[in-house]
Structure 1
């Protein structure tokens, strides 16, 4: 049966994803105004980032997946080069060197771009080879993942490095990685974790683990963030205190209220109902991404769409887990809600890739 492509499909925009993303954009600005202490400048910067991100999403959606695959190796080398440049000329803030700053022009975080480039690179490499991947191709894929992982970990940025690692690992998993290899990797996590504890993690990162296990051990120090976050979430109840009426953020008890811990502000002001509505939108985004994965007509598109969707899930899971005390704090913002320019543009670019995979299928015009 012949089908006519809709206007949005001819524009290579997925209507379902677009509506859900616009809902998150509006909700983000609404919550950020309160979380940021009614700071209009903060609101305008976030709105500008949304505009830039939407523009990037639209442009990327026009590119055919095979065109992306052709340029992925160069993109990988460029971003790795930028990560190396951070080591020498990076901009340092809050004890971390993660940014490249061009005075008077822009300041950006190269590691954010790797969240998209990494799954694209592994999908490009494996899609041209027989699946499930052989030991040789698995090891080469792991080498491609480890290089940026180590560079980002040295900045230090544990949260982003883990997301990059996960985004590449998901491609291997979707490609049919053998189960006994997966079991071996899981078994190796214990000695790897011990080695990282003694030789890789910084003191403040170790302290985060201690705080996760016992926040009350230092309630006025490292345990302050998670204690105040739990207090904000619990005080919201079912329906919340109301917009702009949250006490934890407005009285400055809750640190990083407009970035990593913004969902605590949302929970305090809009309660369980508000959090459930946000989770529902996230769930619909993930479900749509998985549907696009199933319907993808090329192996490259299928591997890429699946990895981007599952990485987005991990993104949400880690932030909500750490804010609620279920996971250690690793500095991962809440997608589309937390304030942050580079992260926002990267996320929207990732959804542009999903739209490209979905809308560049063979639509046959009705005659």
Structure 2
């Protein structure tokens, strides 16, 4: 018996010695590989989309570096530790949104940033894409499921506060993503179908109310342009017409790297941010877009696997909502650039230029890694 015990110990020692550096760092190798592939592809496409700007390329690369560090740091914490600090994070996030509303930095007609001259400029609304689902997951994980009506009302109230503050900036795209991230948690918590049916039925009157009392003129014009882009081809319809022309002209294999005409001849506005997939489609064609979608699909699939394997309710709700929010992120950008959805100003995850968005996305994947890599330790406690 002692001999068997000794052999068991020695086999455990061998397993510990075989533990890879990634396991010791609580980093999921599959997620890391897919994210690095996206990082490399992003820099490749961004160089062309930005007109061969080494400055933007360096800023994007540095943002990737900061985001990867944030991802690894967050992955070290157990989900229970992260849950403990979620309420404080939510309060800080809301306070930052209030600061933006009161004295934020205005650019291109919108007040979305906090600017500390010579130090940093960042967009607090981006962080709410993680803090929002984390807050609802933290709240519901402490209650019996499916959630009761009073718990649903409290959850919706917590979602409404940052949603309204972001709508005021105005930033309809980010506000809708914050709304989606919170409601995904409610859905995964076992929301009753009659409540879901009621919410669906309320979409029309809510949409009418937003059109009449919330949406700005330019946002209304985007909806009208979505319905008929040709109604103003040289004005509001210009972006979507040019993006569809760029994607269509790429064909199956594309025109080749740095050979796109729509972006390099300045026909395509915002080619390095919201409409960067049009540049990808023009230069790398259908093949390039399909490869990008494949990487996205693998990321989403891995996120769903992590969700299914999560061993705590908070971890399951958090991982599932982050994965589904990422899916909506991709869907909305590709849909608006291809003319299937109205233009709402949502960047393409990991590909579009943007430091705050990039760091936030990688932080979200750090949470996924924390949920996944700490599950064995949790099971032993």
- The normalised TM-score by structure 2 is 0.94
Q: Secondary structure at the match of 1:92?
A: strand
Matches for 1:83-122 after TM superposition, within 5 Å: 83-122=97-136
Matches for 1:273-292 after TM superposition, within 5 Å: 273-292=287-306
What corresponds to 2:213 in structure 1?
199
Q: Aligned partners of 1:135 and 1:167: how far apart in 2?
A: 19
Matches for 1:346-361 after TM superposition, within 5 Å: 346-361=360-375
Q: Aligned partners of 1:326 and 1:253: how far apart in 2?
A: 20
Q: Aligned partners of 1:102 and 1:264: how far apart in 2?
A: 33
Deviations 1:217-254 (A, max 9, x none): 00000000000000000000000000000000000000
Q: Aligned partners of 2:120 and 2:377: how far apart in 1?
A: 40
Which of 233, 239, 256 aligns to 1:242? It is 256
Matches for 1:202-351 after TM superposition, within 5 Å: 202-351=216-365
Q: Aligned partners of 2:23 and 2:90: how far apart in 1?
A: 29
Which of 184, 196, 206 aligns to 1:170? It is 184
Q: Secondary structure at the match of 1:101?
A: strand
Q: Secondary structure at the match of 1:243?
A: coil
Q: Aligned partners of 2:101 and 2:366: how far apart in 1?
A: 30
Q: Secondary structure at the match of 2:113?
A: strand
Q: Aligned partners of 2:244 and 2:83: how far apart in 1?
A: 44
Q: Aligned partners of 1:32 and 1:86: how far apart in 2?
A: 29
Q: Secondary structure at the match of 1:358?
A: helix
Post-superposition offset of 1:10: 2.2
Deviations 1:315-355 (A, max 9, x none): 00000000000000000000000000000000000000000
Q: Aligned partners of 1:86 and 1:363: how far apart in 2?
A: 40
What corresponds to 1:9 in structure 2?
23
Post-superposition offset of 1:40: 0.4
What corresponds to 1:64 in structure 2?
78
Q: Aligned partners of 1:361 and 1:171: how far apart in 2?
A: 20
Which of 131, 147, 155 aligns to 2:169? It is 155
Q: Aligned partners of 1:51 and 1:161: how far apart in 2?
A: 27
Q: Secondary structure at the match of 2:352?
A: coil
Deviations 1:202-223 (A, max 9, x none): 0000000000000000000000
What corresponds to 1:187 in structure 2?
201
Which of 83, 88, 99 aligns to 1:74? It is 88
What corresponds to 2:38 in structure 1?
24
Larger mean Cα displacement after TM superposition, 268-277 or 2-11 = 2-11
What corresponds to 2:5 in structure 1?
none
Post-superposition offset of 1:356: 0.3
Could you tell me which runs of 5 or more consecutive residues in structure 1 were left unpaired when the two chains were aligned. none
Post-superposition offset of 1:363: 5.5
Equivalences, count = 364
Q: Aligned partners of 1:361 and 1:352: how far apart in 2?
A: 14
Post-superposition offset of 1:9: 2.0
Could you tell me which runs of 5 or more consecutive residues in structure 2 were left unpaired when the two chains were aligned. 1-7
Q: Does 1:49 align with 2:66?
A: no
Q: Which has the larger radius of gyration?
A: 2
CA RMSD of aligned residues (A): 1.2
Which of 124, 131, 140 aligns to 1:126? It is 140
Q: Secondary structure at the match of 2:342?
A: coil
Q: Secondary structure at the match of 1:362?
A: helix
Q: Secondary structure at the match of 2:301?
A: helix
- The normalised TM-score by structure 1 is 0.98
Q: Aligned partners of 1:113 and 1:363: how far apart in 2?
A: 28
Q: Aligned partners of 1:53 and 1:96: how far apart in 2?
A: 25
What corresponds to 2:3 in structure 1?
none
Q: Aligned partners of 2:204 and 2:376: how far apart in 1?
A: 47
Q: Secondary structure at the match of 1:256?
A: coil
